[in-house]
Structure 1
Amino acid sequence: MKKVVIIGCGAVGYRWYFDGIKKSKYCEVAALVDIDEEALEKAGKYLHNDNLYSSLEEFLSSKCKADIALILTQHSSHFRLIEQCLNNGLHVYSEKPFAETKREAQYLLKVAHDKGKFLASAPQIKLSSRNQKVKEIIESGVLGKIALIRASGSNMGPADRKDTDYNPKWFYNDGGSLASLGIYTLSIIIFLFGIPDRVASYSGIAFSNRTVKYGPNSGEKFKVTAPDNQIAILDYENGMYVMFDGSYVVKHPVDYELIIHGELGTLLVGGFGGPDSIILENEHGKQKVGPDDSCHLEWNLFWGVDNLAKCIQQESELIVSGEFAKNVIEVMEAMKYSNKENIIVRLGENER
């Protein structure tokens, strides 16, 4: 079992990671770190762990040891914490995005390489059997040449979600819809097709005044200061285009996250998994071709940390690699620059 120090004990941990580590066959909690004393004590009780530290520095100077640092803090702190953990001999798994720019990502990957450590990152989309099946179908050639993809990763965000049990305002201010939500669908596109050649993107604030609909902050009104509406055209320069949106402005999300149009047919991709999560439509009619497994029923984001642990033990390749996450960060950075400068951005050599 690999020992994990969890850095950041807020809502992301409870929603996506804490229950996962309880079930893990590869990891166990070594310690918890958070600057908020109340949040730290609450997480300690939930995870039955008494090794509580108010800062990463305090943990690193203690006698408590860990193999992996799991970073669940706000985006802006990821770079500093990852660098510090790597330099102190820890493998790292970070929530997304692990860096703000491609240059930052490359630097952290070099530090990891120089220290002989692994740097892994969310989102864990490559572990999904649904996404793996989509890639398999595309590579089989059954769709023929791909021409047009509609990729929609939008909803209204956590302020409108009934299961929200935390203060969601951060996601509309420091977070923003692209880095918090759209990154999932964008990552799937890059997994399936690689880095595009050119990007044209637009973002802005559509709904500047919001109200928290559910949870402990229900009824509170707040201002939106980060872009909540993000669209982009990704050009693969072979006549193939992706029309992407990753926004907090869609009251009724579309049924299919991806609609992939090829010369010989269309692939409709929606839901988390199961046979009906992928529909192939061609001259033979419609067929359910999604994976017939329980991946979507058992899914939890801690699988990414488990993958890192198995990689450290040489039982698996690192699927949730920092290298792949760097590619996603590069495209996100290009999208932001395109919007800021009102230009089409050409990316570097394709890494497909």
Structure 2
Amino acid sequence: MTKLRVAVIGCGSIAKNRHLVEYNSNPHVEIVAVCDIVETRVQDFANLYQANAYTSYEELLEAEKPDAVSVCLPNYLHAAVSIAALNRGCHVLCEKPMATSREEAEQMIEAAHRNNKKLMIGHNQRFVASHKKAKQLIEQGDAGKIYSFRTTFGHGGPEGWSADGRNSWFFKKDQAFIGAMGDLGVHKADLLRYLLNEEFTDVAGFVETNAKEGTDIDDNAVCILKTESGVIGTLAASWAYTGKEDNSTIIYGENATLRLEDHPDFSLIVTYKNGEVVNYELGAIQSNDEGGQTTSHVIDHFVDCILHDTEPLINGEEGKKSLEVILAVLESSKAEKVG
């Protein structure tokens, strides 16, 4: 079988640690090109993966005509570069958040439809074993009616992860648009939509910059969310959790409480109202900490969808719905401050 010719646009940490590694491990993929505005960086990756190096994504798309691209750029470039690639006939895997506005997201979706190409957004939480098992248990009724939830995603901040450290685009509002909520909160909005199989109809939140000096980007947020059926809960996103990363979710149901990624040994703990406790060992969640799972499963899913002409689990419409939750939280926080 002919291999998919793939290009990665943006060679920061997410490309280095996820996209390039996982494409390289997929037997159906050939990495043909990499692109980054930092010449030394892109040349290093080109040498490592025996690919062609570019500092202009337009030149890459014109010269290479890849089958698919990963867009691993600062948030403000996601829409423009994804649309350009789709218009060139490429399938696109875009990092989250998919865009900086509803309008941009809609333009990306329209470009994918118009060109009959796949558009997938890089939300990896749906592929985590404990999350998939929890969804199965909820769907088959083990937890009964769901009443509430608590979810958190926090770590020490992108300076410990990003290729450029404290000088990263993550801390520049004109490039990032949104901070911890776009980096981490949008993952949890997507996860909750997946687990509960519902949309959020009411959103409120406080979004603050109180931990990182010298930036006006948000680094701490707490949100209250309500679904169409009345399930309520909280979502917290933070770049100010010192020590170990927190990536936990708790679902409170009529018959059971499900604790996801909240124990060092058991990735899912189900406590039933009759006192029975079931501990699941399902493998570690993907993490920026040492010891996190080595594959996100995002790349393999994207490749499979192209090869078998199936719709990605997190397509453009799904990415947009998760983005809209975060945008609504920002609007709520802004209204609170004005009021």
Give the TM bin, normalised by the shorter chain.
Answer: 0.7 to 0.9
> Cα RMSD (Å) of the superposition?
2.5
1:286 aligns with 2:272: no
Tell me the distance in 2 between the aligned counterparts of 1:105 and 1:87: 15
SS at match of 2:148: strand
Aligned to 2:122: 122
Specify the code of the residue in structure 2 equivalent to 1:54: T
Map 1:138-149; keep pairs closer than 5 Å: 138-149=138-149
* Secondary structure in structure 2 of the residue aligned to 1:313: helix
Give the equivalent residue in structure 2 for 1:300. Answer: 295
Residues 8-157 of structure 1 aligned to structure 2 (within 5 Å) = 8-49=10-51, 51-62=52-63, 64-157=64-157
| Cα offsets for 1:139-183 (capped at 9, x unmatched) | 121222111101111222133x4x776414433344411111222
- 1:72 & 1:165 partners in 2: Cα distance? 12
Please say if 1:179 is aligned against 2:182: yes
Number of equivalent positions = 323
Alignment match, 1:167: 165
> Where do 5+ consecutive residues of structure 2 fail to align?
287-291
Task: Give the structure 2 partner of residue 206 of structure 1.
Answer: 210
CA deviation after TM superposition for structure 1 residue 256, in Å: 6.7
CA contact (8 A) 2:147 2:252 kept: yes
Aligned to 2:289: none
Per the alignment, residue 212 of structure 1 pairs with none
Aligned partners of 2:256 and 2:270 also within 8 Å: yes
- Report the alpha carbon displacement of residue 254 of structure 1 after superposing the two structures with TM: 7.8
Partner SS for 1:5: strand
Match of 2:235 among 244, 249, 255: 244
In 2, the alpha carbon distance for the partners of 1:4 and 1:178 equals: 29
Q: Give the CA deviation at 1:315.
A: 6.5
- Going from structure 1 to structure 2, the CA distance change for 1:232 and 1:254 (only over 3 Å counts) comes to same
**Structure 2 Cα separation of the partners of residues 23 and 156 of structure 1:** 29
Q: Counterpart in 2 of 1:268?
A: 259
Equivalent residues of 1:4, 1:27 under 8 A apart: yes
Give, as a single letter, the amino acid of the residue that structure 2 aligns with 1:172: F
CA deviations 1:167-216 (Å, max 9, x no partner) are: 1443334441111122222221111123211001110111242xxxxxxx
The 10-residue stretch of structure 1 (147-156 or 67-76) with the greater mean CA deviation from structure 2: 147-156
SS of the residue aligned with 1:232?
A: strand
Q: Following TM superposition, by how much is the alpha carbon of 1:268 offset from its aligned partner in structure 2, in angstroms?
A: 0.8
In structure 1, runs of 5+ residues without a counterpart are 210-222, 344-352
Verify the 8 A CA contact 1:304 1:320 in the aligned structure 2. no
Contact 1:82 1:92 (8 Å CA) reproduced:
yes
Cα gap change, 1:271/1:15 in structure 2, threshold over 3 Å: closer, same or farther? Answer: farther
Alpha-carbon distance between aligned partners in 2 of 1:58 and 1:256, rounded to the nearest angstrom: 39
Q: Following TM superposition, by how much is the alpha carbon of 1:255 offset from its aligned partner in structure 2, in angstroms?
A: 6.4
CA distance in structure 1 between the partners assigned to 2:10 and 2:247 by the alignment: 33
CA distance in 2, matches of 1:169, 1:253: 23
Shift of 1:261: 1.1
User: Percent of aligned pairs with the same residue?
Assistant: 25
One-letter amino acid of the structure 1 residue matched with residue 25 of structure 2 = K
The letter of the residue matching 2:319 is A
**d(CA) in 1 for partners of 2:14, 2:328:** 27
SS in 2 for 1:12: helix
> Once the 2 structures are TM-superposed, how far is the Cα of residue 102 of structure 1 from its aligned partner?
2.1
In structure 1, what is the Cα distance between the partners aligned to 2:228 and 2:285? 34
What is the TM-score normalised by the length of structure 1?
A: 0.84
Pick from 304, 310, 318: which aligns with 2:312? Answer: 318
- Contact 1:133/1:290, CA 8 A, preserved across alignment: no
Distance 1:165 1:65, change over 3 A: closer
